[in-house]
């Protein structure tokens, strides 16, 4: 093991022993300590799920990127592994940036971006980014194999390779920013993980669609192909694109050797405050699963006071229905369920009904009958800070956060689905909430920061009545 990895692991072990836990998740993957952002190298390999992630083990703030690593048999119970990659070679001196993992004839192989600042740390005016390879015989310890792909002429931002095998070849998509500051996704074809040739520009931004397309992912879903990416630089438009950076997808058709025929432009994947850099992989049975970073750049992160920052979403199965990508928790998430409490159907008349005094790790499913609900606002609250509610006047579903002690006071919302039934499936952890609307038609994922003694979960209705036609809740545990 090289000394850089040893130093990273030693620092991480020391920080883990001192980490605070008030906001540390019960059932989401977070770093043992230090900083986490994008999930990387998600793969099912020889009976084990691997999740790598962008990691700074030396502090709770972003820094020179390492690859953290965790393994699981079921995608929901994770075991931390040693730090997998540390920067320090000439080609990745300032960071082992995002990438992916593949099985190369039984060898677990990581393809990642080596990042170097040419004019001082943090100065993006001059950088060098190349794609690199690292391999492992045991799935835990990795040996760097060096640079396998350099950027085209006039491309400086060139990162986040996603690699797969198809039609007898390797394929790679890479996010890029062209000379005129437009985001694009470049497609490469490989005879091996070391030998690549440029195939074509797979897709590029129209005016207003972002100056850099990060974390591209390209995969079949149903009878179509989905190009998933995280654009930087899309401006807010009404209720859409409210976060600093976005994550979403384009739909279309593709065959090896042909252009990607786009049939639908960029659509946001999640409408909460904290969702970025989703990456997909195939489960043991072939399901297409994604996991994303459940945070957002330049947002307030109160967990830093505890010596850590960042967590990942629950694994989500993707399906294509009615021309839209839907996300639902992977079925393995149901194995977290413990104590079950069915909720009695009721009509709330300008009232509050407490469901739990202390919702620390909870799943709740609520079915509201909108045709018999005329309250101006109704839904659920968690303590004083989180309110998920239907606004009948605007016909929208709102997720409001109010943690003024941390300078967090904001809102996200989506249009109510058509029809008279509104089903909300909500997962509450110590510092996160994930909301799935009508079987994944819409999702909202956000970090939350209630104080440990202010976690009462309640139903409410204001100025009228709201009919709950069915409901269930469970406590959740990874034990």
Catalytic residues: 38
The span from the CA of 400 to the CA of 387, in Å, is: 5
Integer-rounded Cα Rg, in Å, for the chain is: 22
Task: Identify the residue whose tokens are 């505890």.
Answer: 306
Least Cα distance to 360 among 234, 448, 468, 469 occurs for 448
Strands 308-309, 34-45: pairing kind: parallel
Tokens matching residue 114: 């080596």
Of the candidates 178, 194, 28, 29, the residue with the CA atom closest to the CA atom of residue 186: 178
3-class SS at 48? strand
- Per the document, the length of the chain is 479
Distance, in Å, from the CA atom of 120 to the CA atom of 81, rounded to the nearest integer, reads: 32
Residue 120's Cβ-count burial label (10 Å; 0-12, 13-18, 19+) is exposed
What is the CB-side half-sphere exposure of residue 415 using CA atoms within 13 A?
6
Task: For the sheet with 96-104, list strands across it.
Answer: 96-104, 107-117, 127-136, 143-149
Q: For residues 103 and 95, give the distance between their C-alpha atoms in angstroms, rounded to a whole number.
A: 23
Write down the number of H helices and E strands in the chain: 1, 34
DSSP for 254-302, written as a single string: --TTS--EEEEEEEES--SS--EEEEEEE-TTS-EEEEEESS-TT---G
Record the tokens describing residue 402, joined without a space. Answer: 């109010």
**Separation between Cα atoms, residue 72 and residue 335, nearest integer Å:** 14
Q: Report the distance separating Cα 257 and Cα 402, nearest Å.
A: 51
431 close to 379: Cβ distance less than 8 angstroms: no
Residue 345 and residue 367: Cα distance in Å, rounded?
Answer: 9
| Cβ pair 472, 342 in contact under 8 A | yes
Q: How far is CA 11 from CA 16, 62, 83, 381, in A?
A: 9, 15, 11, 39
Which residues have C-beta within 8 Å of that of residue 329, sequence separation ≥ 6? 314, 315, 316, 317, 425, 427, 434, 436
């Amino acid at each position: 093991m090289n000394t850089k990895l040893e130093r990273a692991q030693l620092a991480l072990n020391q920080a883990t022993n001192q980490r605070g836990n008030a906001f540390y998740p019960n059932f989401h993957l977070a770093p043992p300590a230090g900083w986490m952002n994008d999930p990387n190298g998600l793969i099912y390999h020889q009976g084990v799920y691997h999740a790598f992630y962008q990691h700074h083990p030396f502090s709770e703030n972003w820094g020179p990127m390492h690859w953290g690593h965790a393994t699981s048999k079921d995608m929901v119970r994770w075991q931390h592994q040693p730090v997998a990659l540390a920067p320090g070679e000439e080609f990745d001196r300032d960071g082992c940036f995002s990438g992916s993992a593949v099985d190369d004839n039984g060898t677990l192989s990581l393809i990642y971006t080596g990042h170097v600042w040419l004019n001082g740390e943090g100065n993006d005016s001059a950088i060098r980014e190349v794609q690199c390879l690292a391999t492992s015989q045991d799935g835990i310890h990795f040996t760097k194999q060096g640079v396998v792909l350099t950027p085209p002429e006039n491309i400086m931002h060139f990162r986040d390779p996603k690699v797969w095998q198809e039609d007898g070849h390797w394929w790679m998509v890479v996010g890029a920013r062209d000379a005129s500051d437009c985001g694009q996704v470049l497609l490469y074809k490989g005879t091996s993980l070391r030998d690549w040739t440029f195939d074509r520009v797979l897709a590029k931004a129209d005016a207003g669609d972002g100056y850099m397309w990060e974390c591209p992912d390209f995969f079949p879903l149903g009878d179509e192909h989905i190009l998933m990416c995280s654009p930087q630089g899309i401006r807010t438009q009404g209720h859409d694109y409210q976060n600093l950076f976005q994550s979403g997808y384009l739909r279309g058709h593709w065959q090896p050797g042909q252009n990607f025929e786009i049939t639908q432009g960029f659509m946001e994947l999640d409408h909460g405050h904290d969702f970025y850099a989703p990456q997909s992989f195939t489960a043991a049975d072939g399901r297409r699963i994604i996991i994303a970073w459940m945070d957002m750049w330049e947002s307030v992160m109160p967990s830093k006071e505890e010596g850590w920052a960042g967590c990942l979403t629950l694994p989500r199965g993707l399906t294509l229905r009615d021309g839209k990508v839907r996300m639902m928790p992977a079925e393995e998430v149901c194995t977290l369920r413990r104590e079950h409490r069915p909720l009695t159907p009721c009509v709330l008349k300008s009232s509050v009904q407490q469901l739990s005094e202390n919702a620390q790790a909870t799943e709740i499913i609520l079915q509201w009958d909108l045709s018999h609900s005329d309250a101006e606002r109704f839904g659920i609250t968690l303590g004083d800070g989180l309110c998920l509610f239907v606004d009948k006047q605007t016909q929208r579903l709102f997720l409001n956060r109010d943690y003024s002690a941390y300078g967090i006071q904001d809102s996200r919302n989506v249009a109510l689905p058509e029809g008279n039934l509104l089903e909300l499936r909500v997962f509450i952890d110590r510092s996160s909430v994930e909301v799935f609307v009508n079987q994944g038609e819409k999702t909202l994922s956000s970090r939350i920061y209630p104080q440990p003694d202010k976690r009462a979960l309640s139903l409410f209705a204001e100025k009228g009545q709201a009919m709950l036609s069915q409901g269930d809740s469970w406590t959740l545990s990874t034990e």
